[in-house]
């Protein structure tokens, strides 16, 4: 099997040959068939150091033995019956212990589903239909929060999103005064969504004090404050960014690491809001007041892996190691930039590393400015790294995890140096 032939077959049955638009690549994508720890192998047997880690879901590394064992055991014991089961209770108890905002938990099918549900809860609780969301923050692919996910556009990056739905989203910069004015001017806004890391898992960091400031503001105004911790939950700290920074939102959306690196999602939050989902409650003649279904919510196989992941991740040791590895990676990349006299910056919070090629600082820049890298440079960087066996996430960003070692980081930095040298030689990078 080779990548090229697989792509030809794929393009006959999958639109563009892919199952997710970001996996598209010209002339063809790379098809992977095995992964272990921080490494993965493509169908041609080529090995890659992985800084994508399952779109940031596999902080424990690929095929972690304890997760694999827990899932395999559950597969033979009771894969899925669509009933209540003990593991969902145990998993929910873990999230309530770890996340300051979690008084109740409702599991969902993905991060996108979690944000859909959280917004419905926000509308139901506030009685207002509109949401305020921050420019460039990503909350999944559904209609309700798509407008503004591409920074600087104030529109949805997709056909097929009804204008009436987009009209329900107000997009602002992460500026407390601007947000306060927007809330005052538009009394239909009832809910506020914030990606807890800042846009794209922190490639656009939030201004200092923003999270505590917006908490203070919404505590006064009564708007429902939702932190999207799909990336940051259990990565920034066992209890997410909210526990690390000591700021408690009303609702939190989770997926990826919080679901043990398995398919799923969750909304956690204040009991009085979450209990709108309870069939024991009645509001306006409706019981439950907010309806939510989903065949695979809290599927036992996922719950088995997630509970095991909660046990391993609850001490914070894994996160500390991943942070140290990301630090080493950022230092290594910045040394390459310094040595090769490239005006660029490697930066990032927690276990992330982002690259900015417009100068040596991102201070004062908004999401649109930070994320404006030339397509030629992005492709050159990606192709150069892939040809040397290094895979990034989102092309100019990386995440690290438990299986990254100093040796793997240093090996990747060497490949990065060679790739940057080539880009200078070829005039792609000036
Ligand atoms: N919110 C954030 C912050 C995300 O990064 C993502 C996915 N990358 C989502 C929501 C959507 O999650 P999913 O892909 O599981 O639907």
The predicted-structure confidence for 338-375, as pLDDT tens digits, reads as follows: 999 999 999 999 999 999 999 999 998 988 899 888 99
| Angstrom distance (rounded) from CA 69 to CA 67 | 5
pLDDT value for 312:
98
pLDDT > 90? residue 295: yes
| Angstrom distance (rounded) from CA 246 to CA 235 | 15
Phi and psi torsions of 398, nearest 5°: -135, 155
* Token duo for residue 117: 């549900």
The CA angle 186-188-192, to the nearest 5 degrees, is: 85
| CA 359 to ligand 1 centroid distance, Å | 29
| CA 110 to ligand 1 centroid distance, Å | 8
Q: pLDDT-derived band of residue 318, with 50, 70 and 90 as boundaries?
A: very high
Average pLDDT, the chain: 97
pLDDT value for 70:
98
pLDDT > 90? residue 129: yes
The CA angle 203-205-211, to the nearest 5 degrees, is: 140
Q: Which fold has domain 31-63+316-425?
A: 3.90.1150
* Average pLDDT over every residue of 80-84: 97
From 206, 230, 263, 266, mutation site for ligand 1 pocket: most ligand atoms within 8 A of C-beta: 230
| Angstrom distance (rounded) from CA 213 to CA 206 | 11
Tell me the per-residue pLDDT of 206-222, one tens digit each, with 9 for 90 and over. 999 999 999 999 999 99
Is 397 near ligand 1, meaning CB less than 6 Å away? no
From 139, 198, 306, mutation site for ligand 1 pocket: most ligand atoms within 8 A of C-beta: 139
* Token duo for residue 126: 């506030």
Phi and psi torsions of 33, nearest 5°: -135, -5
pLDDT value for 39:
98
Is 230 near ligand 1, meaning CB less than 6 Å away? yes
Residues with Cβ within 8 Å of residue 48, at least 6 apart in sequence = 32, 39, 40, 41, 42, 386, 389, 390, 391
Strand runs (DSSP E) across 211-361, as ranges?
224-228, 251-255, 265-269, 345-347, 352-356
Tell me the per-residue pLDDT of 17-57, one tens digit each, with 9 for 90 and over. 999 999 999 999 999 999 999 999 999 999 999 999 999 99
pLDDT value for 398:
98
How many C-beta neighbours within 10 Å does residue 172 have? Answer: 18
| Angstrom distance (rounded) from CA 317 to CA 353 | 19
Helix, strand, coil fractions of the chain, as percent rounded to 5 = 45, 15, 40
* Average pLDDT over every residue of 67-92: 98
Is 298:91 a contact under the CB 8 Å cutoff? Answer: yes
**Burial class of residue 154 (count of CB atoms within 10 Å of its CB; 0-12, 13-18, 19+):** middle
From 54, 117, 256, 259, mutation site for ligand 1 pocket: most ligand atoms within 8 A of C-beta: 256
pLDDT value for 371:
84
**Domain boundaries along the sequence of the chain:** 31-63+316-425, 65-313
User: Could you tell me which of 374, 372, 416, 422 has the C-alpha nearest to residue 392?
Assistant: 416
Task: Sort strands 104-108 and 130-134 into parallel, antiparallel or unpaired.
Answer: unpaired
pLDDT > 90? residue 326: yes
Is 138 near ligand 1, meaning CB less than 6 Å away? yes
pLDDT value for 306:
98
Instruction: Report, at the CATH architecture level, how domain 65-313 is classified.
Output: 3-Layer(aba) Sandwich (3.40)
Is 139 near ligand 1, meaning CB less than 6 Å away? yes
| CA 228 to ligand 1 centroid distance, Å | 9
| CA 341 to ligand 1 centroid distance, Å | 36
Q: pLDDT-derived band of residue 1, with 50, 70 and 90 as boundaries?
A: confident
Is 231 near ligand 1, meaning CB less than 6 Å away? yes
User: Could you tell me which of 133, 148, 243, 205 has the C-alpha nearest to residue 352?
Assistant: 205
pLDDT value for 240:
98
pLDDT value for 394:
87
pLDDT value for 338:
97
| Angstrom distance (rounded) from CA 371 to CA 203 | 8
The length of the chain in residues reads 430
Is 69:409 a contact under the CB 8 Å cutoff? Answer: no
> Which atom number of ligand 1 is nearest to the Cα of residue 137?
3
Is 59:53 a contact under the CB 8 Å cutoff? Answer: yes
pLDDT value for 181:
98
């Amino acid at each position: 099997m080779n990548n090229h032939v697989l792509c030809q077959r794929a393009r006959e049955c999958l639109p563009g040959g892919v199952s997710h638009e970001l996996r598209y690549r010209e002339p063809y994508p790379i098809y992977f068939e095995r992964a272990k720890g921080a490494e993965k192998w493509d169908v041609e047997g080529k090995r890659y150091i992985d800084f994508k880690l399952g779109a940031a879901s596999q902080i424990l590394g690929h095929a972690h033995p304890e997760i694999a064992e827990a899932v395999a055991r559950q597969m033979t014991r009771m894969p899925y019956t669509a009933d209540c089961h003990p593991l969902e209770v145990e998993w929910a108890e873990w999230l309530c212990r770890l996340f300051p905002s979690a008084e109740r938990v409702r599991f969902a099918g993905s991060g996108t589903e979690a944000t859909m549900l959280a917004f419905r809860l926000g509308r139901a609780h506030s009685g207002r239909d509109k949401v305020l969301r921050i420019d460039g923050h990503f909350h999944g692919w559904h209609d309700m929060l798509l407008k503004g996910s591409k920074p600087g556009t104030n529109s949805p990056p997709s056909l097929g999103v009804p204008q009436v739905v987009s009209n329900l989203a107000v997009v602002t910069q992460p500026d407390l005064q601007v947000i306060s004015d927007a809330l005052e001017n538009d009394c239909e806004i009832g809910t506020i969504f914030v990606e807890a890391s800042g846009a794209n898992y922190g490639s656009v960091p939030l201004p200092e004090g923003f999270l505590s400031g917006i908490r203070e503001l919404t505590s006064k105004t009564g708007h429902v404050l939702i932190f999207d911790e799909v990336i940051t939950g259990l990565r920034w700290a066992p209890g997410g960014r909210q526990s690390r920074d000591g700021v408690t939102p009303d609702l939190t959306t989770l997926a990826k690491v919080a679901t043990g690196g398995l398919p799923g999602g969750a909304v956690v939050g204040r009991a009085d809001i979450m209990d709108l989902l309870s069939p024991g409650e009645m509001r306006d003649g409706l019981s439950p007041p907010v309806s939510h279904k989903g065949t695979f919510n809290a599927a036992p196989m996922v719950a088995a892996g997630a509970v095991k992941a909660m046990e391993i991740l609850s001490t914070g040791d894994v996160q500390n190691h991943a942070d140290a590895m990301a630090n080493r990676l950022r230092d290594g990349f910045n040394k390459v930039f310094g040595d090769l006299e490239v005006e660029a910056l490697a930066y990032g919070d927690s276990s992330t590393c982002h690259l900015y090629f417009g100068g040596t600082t991102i201070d004062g820049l908004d999401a649109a400015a930070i994320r404006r890298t030339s397509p030629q440079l992005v492709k050159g960087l990606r192709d150069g790294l892939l040809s040397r066996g290094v895979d990034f996430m989102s092309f100019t960003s990386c995440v690290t995890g438990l299986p990254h070692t100093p040796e793997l980081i240093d090996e990747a930095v060497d490949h990065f140096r060679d790739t940057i040298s080539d880009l200078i030689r070829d005039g792609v990078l000036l």
